[in-house]
Amino acid sequence: MLKKIAFILGSLIAPLGAHAQHKAPPPPKSLRLYVFDCGSLDISDPERFRFKKEELATTNLSVACFLIVHPKGTLMWDVGAVPDSALKPGEKSALEGYATITETLKSQMEKIGYEPSDIEYLAFSHYHYDHIANANQFAGATWLARKIERDAMFAAKPPDKVNPANYSALKNSQTILIPTDDYDVFGDGTVVMKLAPGHTPGHQVLFLKLAKTGPVVLSGDLYHYPEERKLKRVPTFETDQQQTVETREKVEAFLKQSGAELWIQHDYAANAKLKKAPQFYE
């Protein structure tokens, strides 16, 4: 009987033991930013962004996911447009709606030694489907959320352009509802989420103070195409277009004052030039 119990316990513990052997990489001495290729969006109707095809260098948009590794912890910023589960073993790509991926986020993370369960904090620029597809994999992280976004995501009738099945597990995640426009994630001013509403009610951008690269702001969807910034066009589907205009002015002023470079997350050409994990910015 005892032997039998020991055997059952052993078989229960073995898989846990195997998992416990995984260790996240040791924290670096200074801030790091990893960029993952989370696919692309094939936009056939740029009119939604108030552009004619011929006004754009390309109608394609990139999708990037970011891992910020700070000496005090880790933060995932935006987690893709297509859930990893859509990419079946042996298939070269997976397509969902406008979006295509060719490699899972999980496998890209594993190549640098991280599992989704290692990640301490999770944050999104906003709730649209193309930023949240792998949210459920990070349900063990602490979600840094804007209340107005979280409320909309779990409302009886969620907003357009969200896919509740892909983030349902966050309902029970440990969550910090951010009380201030600026939120300094690690308390030293190097990783700061900044409220930038208009595209969605609680849209935000991420300021990163990288020692060698210099300061950077990850745009969320403040702009999609670089031509939006140049020609000051505002997409048709903002929750508040006037607010977007005002937010853009504020962020542009912040960029000037801080000397930070804006990385437009969906900018296809700019994204193609970024170093991808396992390389990193520091």
Pair type for strands 191-195 and 182-184: antiparallel
Nearer to Zn ion, 130 or 149 (CB): 130
**Of 149 and 221, CB closest to Zn ion:** 221
- Count residues binding Zn ion (CB under 5 A): 2
Cis peptide before 278 (omega within 30 of 0): yes
Minimum gap (Å) between residue 2 Cβ and Zn ion: 58
Minimum CB separation of residue 130 from Zn ion in Å reads 4
Least gap, CB of 96 to Zn ion (angstroms): 14
User: Which of 26, 37, 25, 165 lies closest to 107 in space, CA to CA?
Assistant: 37
130 counts as binding Zn ion under rule CB under 5 A:
yes
**DSSP E strands: which ranges in 83-238?**
94-96, 99-101, 121-123, 142-145, 175-177, 182-184, 191-195, 204-210, 214-218
Within 10 Å of residue 107's Cβ, how many Cβ atoms?
11
Q: How far is the CB of 266 from Zn ion (least distance, A)?
A: 6
Asked if 227 touches Zn ion (CB under 5 A), the answer is no
- Residue 84 as a binder of Zn ion (CB under 5 A): the answer is no
* Pairing status of strand 121-123 against strand 73-77: parallel
Looking at the Cβ atoms of 31 and 133, the one nearer to Zn ion is 133
Q: Which stretch binds Zn ion (CB under 5 A): 48-56, 128-136, 207-215, 246-254?
A: 128-136
Window 13 to 32, contacts with Zn ion (CB under 5 A): none
Q: Give the contact letters, 143-162, x = binds to Zn ion (CB under 5 A), - = no.
A: --------------------
Stretch 202-221: interaction string toward Zn ion, x if CB under 5 A: -------------------x
The residue among 70 and 224 lying less far from Zn ion, judged by its C-beta, is 224
Report, in Å, the least distance between residue 49 CB and Zn ion.
11
Q: What 3-state class would DSSP assign to 209?
A: strand
CA 246 to chain centre: 23
**Helix locations, the chain, DSSP H:** 2-20, 105-110, 147-153, 226-231, 241-258, 268-273
Q: Which of 195, 123, 131, 128 is nearest to 158 (CA)?
A: 128
Q: Nearer Cβ to Zn ion, position 130 or 228?
A: 130
* CB environment 186-196: b (16+ within 10 A), e (fewer): beeebbbbbbb
Q: Which is nearer to Zn ion, 32 or 224 (CB)?
A: 224
Closer to Zn ion by CB, 84 or 221: give it: 221
Catalog residues that contact Zn ion under the rule CB under 5 A. 130, 221
